[in-house]
Amino acid sequence: MSQATIREPDWNDPADCEAVVHLIDAYAQEPIEGAQPLPTSSRERLIDGLRNEPGGLVLLATVDEQPVGIAVCFRGFSTFAAQPLINIHDLAVLSEHRNRGIGSRLLEEVCRRA
């Protein structure tokens, strides 16, 4: 199996937008997250919401050009530390691609961009 590539989605590419929705929907259906698919209204608003969020950072993990993982983060500011911070809101890897270091690669890239 090829190594994962970590990159930001191209919000003008319908395939990347579909990948983001698919990965977040798969994450929502995990037992720890409630095991429910994303509501239709959320699926319809997700891309515009992420694309227009000024402090947002979304990273896709792909293997052989297939989306397998995602990190959704939001930049902010820590008043206690008086410095910028990044909140990792969602971090998910499709179950069939787990235990291969993909989640770690996503986290490394988030840290690199923090």
pLDDT at 94 over 80: yes
Q: How confident is the model at residue 33 (pLDDT cuts 50, 70, 90)?
A: low
43-70 pLDDT, tens digit per residue, is: 999 999 999 999 999 999 999 999 999 9
What's at 48, amino acid-wise? D
Judged by DSSP in three states, 70 sits in: strand
Other Cβ atoms closer than 10 A to 69? 25
1.10.3090.10, 3.40.1350.10, 3.20.20.80, 3.40.630.30: which CATH number matches 5-113?
A: 3.40.630.30
**DSSP letter for each residue of 73-97:** EEEEEETTTTEEEEEEEEEEE-GGG
pLDDT at 62: 97
**pLDDT attached to residue 114:** 80
Question: What SS3 class is residue 67?
Answer: strand
For the chain, give the longest Cα–Cα distance. Answer: 44
The DSSP bridge partners found for residue 96 are none
